[in-house]
Amino acid sequence: MSAPATYVYEPQKNFSRTRKLPLHTVIKMLIGMGGNSLGKELLEWFGYSEKTVSVSAFVQQRNKIKPETLKHIFQTMVSQCDKHTLYNGYQLLAIDGSDLRLPSDKRESFSYIQNDETTKGYNLLHLDALYDVLQHVYVDASIQSKIGMNEHKALVSMIDDSAISDKVILIADRGYESFNNIAHCQEKNWNYIIRSKESYGIKFEAPPNATFDIDHLITLTRRQTKQTKILINKDPNRYRWIQPHTKFDYIKPKEDKLYDIPIRIVRFEIADSVYETLYTNLSREDFPVDILKELYQLRWGIETAFRELKYNVGLASIHSKKTAFVFQEIYAKLIMYNFSALIAYSQDVPTGKRINFAKSMHVCYQFFKEKLSDIVLAKMLSKYLSLIRPGRSFERNKINKNAVSFTYRIS
């Protein structure tokens, strides 16, 4: 690290002496840890030698590092990624969120939840992420307590903080269809494809046919003046009044201002009498309905990425209950995921096959720990390929999984 004073709590004391665990080693160990017990992770890191440090020594050293350190490394890594995989010049970013179950500890108020006095409490965080579905890397993340979490707020903050100013297509599932989210994309000059819930969504006057592709202009206001009431009564399909408690960042409460949101609304059939509706600002000429369907299907990549992040990279098996340590490990796992994905997906693959990331990332782990050469790495990765079978579909069964207790880790 070039400026360790920025990353530790006590710059004058922390990592000032020569030790077995200097700052760069501790950070590298955090990134390279798997899902075993902490004791076994240390044994493997030191090659089962007599020089292996104790669990207590490692915890004392990591306790000196700010969680923001791993976040900074993650952000720096993302900024240096060469965005060479694009769709007609556009970067495709999917947004989604996933719960992270933690070992129970009522002392950690940030994540502890107890529904009532008669039930056992539990610890839960919510991770929202932006994921590049073509380059297979996470580009941003937001960590919230499950209590009072707000996926819309997380999305807006990631849009506003992004250094990418254009040539982006944001792909989002149901639940993200809000005026505020769309307006933030519009102001950032981002394109978007957002699926609407069929039961409700942005109200508009739909054509009589079941499938359609229409342009719709919505004008928002917060004032209920005589003039705005005339506009709303005259054309309720276009003019909308936003209630004072509704979040919309581009019109302040009581501000006499109109805000236009042009939306293209597309509805198509995906099975017999089963339809999907998408909101977008992509042009009809460059992005016809079939292309929109294809792009929206790519959103599934973030669902797969969350599964791999949790159960292959090891995010579901965090080694601490302390909130600051949990934050450290979340960003460490994101770094390791990106490191492995950038290597694995850069390999030349025969036509009709693809990299099996769930298996190949274990080889990338060993390469990160400098136990494999780059030549051996390439040969090993070429063995982990899967057939591409387009058109397959499976019923999605949601299974709630508890945190992996420290007691039941592989010791």
pLDDT > 60? residue 408: no
pLDDT > 50? residue 1: no
Highest mean pLDDT among 1-5, 25-29, 78-82, 317-321: 25-29
Residue-wise pLDDT tens digits, 266-281 = 999 988 888 899 999 9
pLDDT > 80? residue 411: no
pTM: 0.91
Q: CA torsion sign, 326 to 26 to 334 to 372?
A: negative
287 contacts 280 by C-beta, under 8 angstroms: yes
Q: How far is CA 142 from CA 83, 130, 218, 351, in A?
A: 22, 9, 30, 36
| Cross-strand pairs, 1 | none
Residue 132 CB partners (closer than 8 Å, separation 6+): 83, 85, 91, 92, 93, 138, 139
Angle between helical axes of 23-32 and 55-62 (0-180°, round to 10): 110
Q: Where are the alpha helices (DSSP H) in 235-356?
A: 289-297, 300-311, 323-344
Residue type present at position 326:
V
Could you state, in order of their start, the residue ranges of all structural domains in the chain? 4-66+321-408
Residue-wise pLDDT tens digits, 200-238 = 667 777 788 889 999 999 999 998 888 888 888 888 889
Which is more confidently placed, 3 or 283? 283
Q: Identify the pLDDT of residue 2.
A: 42
